[in-house]
Amino acid sequence: MESAGSGAFDGGGGGAPAGVPARLPAVNDPASPSPVPGSRVSAGGPVAPEAVLPWVRSAVEAGRVLILTVRSLRSGSHLTYRLRPFKRGPSDRGAGHLEMVDVLTGPANTADYTFIGAIYFSPRGSITVLTGARTENPNGGHGSSISDDAPSAKTLRGLFERLARGQGPAPAAEVWHDGTCARCGRPLTTPESLERGIGPICAQKGGSEDGEG
């Protein structure tokens, strides 16, 4: 498994620092679905800025769980989010798509997620992001335990507010597609592991099959 990125950031604006490229080359097909956990396909990488919204919408409209990582080009820190469709009744058909959003807050990238908010994709194409106490937690209670002022909440709002305006991520940030370890088939979410193609435990063990990636 991987660890969540250390050091959060606000990806809501600003330019890339001198000497840092605006983005890395996209290495994946952003319109393709996320790899199936447990598959032995190593995929993932940065998504071209203009392809982020179509990639997100294709997953949302298909009812797929989407894992995306936002990486700061300034500090190299990253935040990983999970969008999961909220199950609605037959009477809600045509009412748009509501996604519950969690942020990775621990080392286990399949389990250590904390509810952070919700995103509503309307039938007319608008996008509304709610975080903090304004969001009702479907697992019980009211709102997220993560405040509106937390860097993870600011980054989430900043990204999707830009997407709602037809823009890509902020110039100092990039969005990464998740992938799977080429050796054990476990999920990869950190840019370092995606670039390497295997997780840190498999790398330390020389790719043994029982190592978590």
- On average, the pLDDT of the chain sits at 77
Give the count of domains, the chain: 1
Q: For residues 43 and 49, what is the distance between their CA atoms, to the nearest angstrom?
A: 18
In terms of C-beta density within 10 A (0-12 exposed, 13-18 middle, 19 or more buried), how is residue 140 classed? exposed
Binning pLDDT at 50, 70 and 90, where does residue 89 land? Answer: low
In contact, 1 and 201? CB cutoff 8 Å = yes
Structural domain includes residue 128:
yes
The radius of gyration of the chain from alpha carbons, rounded to an integer in Å, stands at: 17
- Domain range holding 167? 45-177
Read off the pLDDT of residues 102-133 as tens digits, 9 standing for 90 and up.
Answer: 999 999 999 999 999 999 999 999 999 999 87
- As given in the structure block, the two tokens for residue 107 are 């080392």
In contact, 85 and 63? CB cutoff 8 Å = yes
When pLDDT is averaged across residues 164-177 and rounded to a whole number, the result is: 94
Task: Say if residue 1's pLDDT is above 80.
Answer: no
Q: What is the pLDDT at residue 120?
A: 94
Structural domain includes residue 195:
no
